[in-house]
């Protein structure tokens, strides 16, 4: 039985807003799948107009791929931040919750070694979230070929988590699955595409 739905992964859900909303309405309709809106989550990199529309159209659970606590860093790792800066995004999150503590926004935060994982980053994140009902998922980075990023070590992740917890923010570290076969967070499809391109090249050379 399907109990929870998350819109995420390949592509940005809020850039396909009309179709995503149709799917949400179908899943939450009592005469269709009848899922509670709290069991339906839209994960976004921070498309503010879409967040505001969703609040009015069908206010399901919201997850924000934040990954940084300041504009300079987020500009480099989440380029959409150049269009929708952190302070504007956090204001949209605050509007979305309406200050209700029982409807927190999930903050997704990938842990990147020596990039966004310092104690200073943790304290800055606390400041960002101080007036927004939220919970934080710390996500160990899944390394893949040709990336220069690497995952923070467990000691660093735990220290970062402890800062958030001590500040009163509910925080968990997500368990990584599938990284041994490059199947985490879209890696498998990326590997498949790479292999397909290689196959096409080899086929062209043979012809």
Cα–Cα distance between 126 and 163 in angstroms, integer? 8
Question: Of all residues in the chain, what percent carry a pLDDT higher than 90?
Answer: 74
Task: Give the bridge partners for 44, in sequence order.
Answer: 64
The distance from CA 110 to its chain's CA centroid, rounded to whole angstroms, is 8
In this prediction the pTM is 0.84
Of 189, 149, 154, 192, residue with least CA distance to 173: 154
CA 11, 146, 153: angle at the middle one, nearest 5? 90
**Largest pairwise CA distance in the chain:** 64
> In this structure, which topology does domain 5-206 adopt according to CATH?
TIM Barrel (3.20.20)
Q: What are the tens digits of pLDDT across the range 139-180? A: 999 988 888 899 999 999 999 999 999 999 999 998 865 555
């Amino acid at each position: 039985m399907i109990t929870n739905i998350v819109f995420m992964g390949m592509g940005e859900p809020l850039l396909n807003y009309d179709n995503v909303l149709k799917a949400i309405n179908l899943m939450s309709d009592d005469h269709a799948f009848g899922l509670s809106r709290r069991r339906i989550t839209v994960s976004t990199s921070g498309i503010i107009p879409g967040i505001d529309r969703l609040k009015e159209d069908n206010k399901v659970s919201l997850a924000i791929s934040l990954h940084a606590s300041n504009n300079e860093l987020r500009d480099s790792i989440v380029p959409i931040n150049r269009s929708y800066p952190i302070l504007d995004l956090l204001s949209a999150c605050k509007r979305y919750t309406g200050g209700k503590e029982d409807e927190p926004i999930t903050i997704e935060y990938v842990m990147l070694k020596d990039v966004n994982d310092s104690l200073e980053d943790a304290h800055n994140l606390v400041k960002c979230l101080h007036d927004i009902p939220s919970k934080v998922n710390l996500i160990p980075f899944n390394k893949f070929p040709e990336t220069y990023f690497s995952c923070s070590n467990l000691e660093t992740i735990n220290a970062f988590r402890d800062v958030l917890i001590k500040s009163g923010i509910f925080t968990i570290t997500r368990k990584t699955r599938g990284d041994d076969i490059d199947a985490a967070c879209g890696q498998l499809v990326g590997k498949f595409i790479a292999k397909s391109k290689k196959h096409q090249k080899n086929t062209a050379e043979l012809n």
